[in-house]
Structure 1
């Protein structure tokens, strides 16, 4: 994945999420550790593109910046989209399938806004010259998992983080 320090978080996240194996790894981490995938992608971007270490304070700042938006908008839209998959009546039918697609588009738009907000948190000193962006991204994502889960990543979570880091 080609990226330099001018690559925005939004562009990085969309490109990375489009790579094989990344969506299921992100969703597995979302389910097992309760992570906000956008914060995970923010951490990966900070490490891989900006070549900056990500610590607990960076993750706390990112979480604080988007917490209310993520809960009230992204998660609320996700809940509606998921609910439309099986009910309530008259769902699922052709009309509610169309509505579900519209809700999904709104959910994605809300996630893009969240990425843009997180992208504004790019301050900080870069790592020393020659720093390994992939290693920084892996460490940053592992920090995010630990922050959300309140514990070190499990072997399965570490494997998901490695899969994402390998796609960068």
Structure 2
């Protein structure tokens, strides 16, 4: 199995995945790295335990509140022109903030991957159902409202793109 980061980058680049992830983040207050972790563990044949979900959600919430969210807010503020500040300078800083935001998400994903105890010898027969169950439990742990139709749509898009196929570590 590929690393969580490598899988997530490939999956996020799949047709329609980024738009669905951003909608889950912006419109439904979900944590994309946490959701993708839930799918990746499912693709690895792992059903998330209650302890894994709780620890992953706590870790993601802490890192998101302290690092990712403030960077995202700053990056979004820098989208608009600022009086008396050169647009090129603002855009350079915005690009740097975006890079730091992406690196902070990568660090969170590395930490989430370390929570995953994966037995690569046990592939599940129905990875779509396993991934759907995993994202539902982490979405519930993340917030009070679970956007089930959007999560099911994301799983379908990932499946259509071939990202729910079990592969083992070589």
TM range (shorter): 0.7 to 0.9
Cα shift readout 1:89-139 (whole Å, capped 9, x = no counterpart): 346711101110111011111111111100101126679654222331122
Instruction: Give 1:119's match in structure 2, choosing from 97, 113, 137.
Output: 113
After superposition, the Cα gap between the structure-2 partners of 1:152 and 1:101, relative to the gap in structure 1 and judged at 3 Å, is closer
What is the aligned residue count? 162
Gap runs ≥5 in structure 1: none
Q: Which residue of 2 aligns with 1:158?
A: 152
RMSD, aligned α-carbons? 2.4
Q: Is 1:21 the equivalent of 2:21?
A: no
1:58-69 maps to which residues of 2 (within 5 A)? 58-69=52-63
8 A contact 2:47–2:130 mirrored in 1: yes
8 A contact 1:16–1:22 mirrored in 2: yes
How far the C-alpha of 1:150 sits from its partner, in A, is 2.0
8 A contact 2:140–2:146 mirrored in 1: yes
How far the C-alpha of 1:86 sits from its partner, in A, is 1.0
Segment of structure 1 superposing worse, 156-165 or 10-19: 156-165
Q: Is 1:83 the equivalent of 2:77?
A: yes
How far the C-alpha of 1:37 sits from its partner, in A, is 0.5
Q: Which residue of 2 aligns with 1:134?
A: 128
**Residue 33 of structure 1: SS of its match in structure 2?**
coil
Q: Which residue of 1 aligns with 2:47?
A: 53
**Residue 69 of structure 2: SS of its match in structure 1?**
helix
Instruction: Give 1:39's match in structure 2, choosing from 29, 34, 41.
Output: 34
Gap runs ≥5 in structure 2: 164-170
- TM normalised by structure 1 equals 0.83
